[in-house]
Each structure stands twice: as structure tokens, then as C-alpha cells.
Amino acid sequence: MADNARAKRLADLIREVVAQKLQRGIKDPRLGSHVTITDTRVTGDLREATVFYTVYGDDEERAAAAAGLESAKGVLRSAVGAAAGVKFTPTLTFVADALPDTARTIEDLLDKARQSDEKVREVSAGAKYAGEADPYRKPGAEDETDGDTAE
């Protein structure tokens, strides 16, 4: 079993090789310049690599890019094998990265929270305290209930 540092180095190499090959070596119009390789993970035995990617565009372009990556899988694996020089070239699995969608959801939730905070700020602008301005007892001030002692 390989150590984690070797798996990390191989993952970094795979990410670089796949990104360069997509940019310069593959002429598939479905893969244009709108596909970005975001991350790569390699299993501990260096047999399988998962390549995460994002696509700039709508759902139709994402589906076309996924089909293009699947069709170019063999060429990309050959390029990785030539660059890595390992005994067994890992099999490549392409997975659409959910990070942009998650970030968009978080931004929407933060916007809703900001709007809610603004509404609370507007409502509380002219509000007054329910009791006295300073509701705490002061030392030396007489309390009406202390005068009634049971003897």
C-alpha cells in the first residue's frame, strides 16, 4: 500500500496533466474552454483516481461536457500514464463538482439573513425599553420591601 504523500503527489500530477490535456490536446468541441478541473483524489492503492470538474454554462453544456469527458477518458489516462511513469496507471472517474452549487446556496441563505437583519433593525429603530432605563438596584438605595421586617 502506498503512503498518503505519494497518493497526494500522484493526484496533483493527474490534475495538472488532465487540465493541460483538456486545454491543448483534445479537440472535442464539447470540452471547450469552459471545463475546469477543481480537484483530484487517488485511492491509497493508487488504482483509482476521481477527477472533480466544473463546467461554466447551463445544464445542457454540463451534460455535453460529461459525455465529452467520458469519451476522452482513454486519451487522458494514456497522457497520465506517460507523465506519471508508474507501474499501473490509475483508472479515471470524472465527477461533477458540487462546490459551485453549494456556494450559491450558502450565498442565497446569507442574503436572506441580511434582509431579515435589516427588517429587525428597521422595526427596532424607534423602540423603547419596556421598563426603566436602568433596572438594576444601586447600593445605598432603599428598597420598599426591606422596611417590613417580621419581629
Domain range summary for the chain, segments of one domain joined by +: 1-95, 97-126
**pLDDT at residue 114, rounded to an integer:** 94
Q: What is the pLDDT of residue 50?
A: 93
In tens digits, the chain (151 residues) has pLDDT values of 557 888 899 999 999 999 888 888 788 778 777 888 889 999 988 899 999 998 887 888 888 888 888 888 888 999 999 988 888 989 999 998 888 788 889 999 999 999 999 998 888 887 777 777 677 877 876 655 555 555 4
Neighbours of 136 (CB within 10 A): 5
- The answer as to CATH 3.40.630.30 being correct for domain 1-95 is no
Q: Which is nearest to 65 in space by CA: 26, 31, 36?
A: 31
**What is the amino acid identity at position 106?**
I
pLDDT score for 140: 75
What pLDDT is attached to residue 35? 86
- DSSP letter at 49 equals E
Residues in a beta bridge with 18: none
Report which of 32, 16, 29, 39 is spatially closest to residue 100, judged by C-alpha positions.
39
Model pLDDT, residue 143: 57
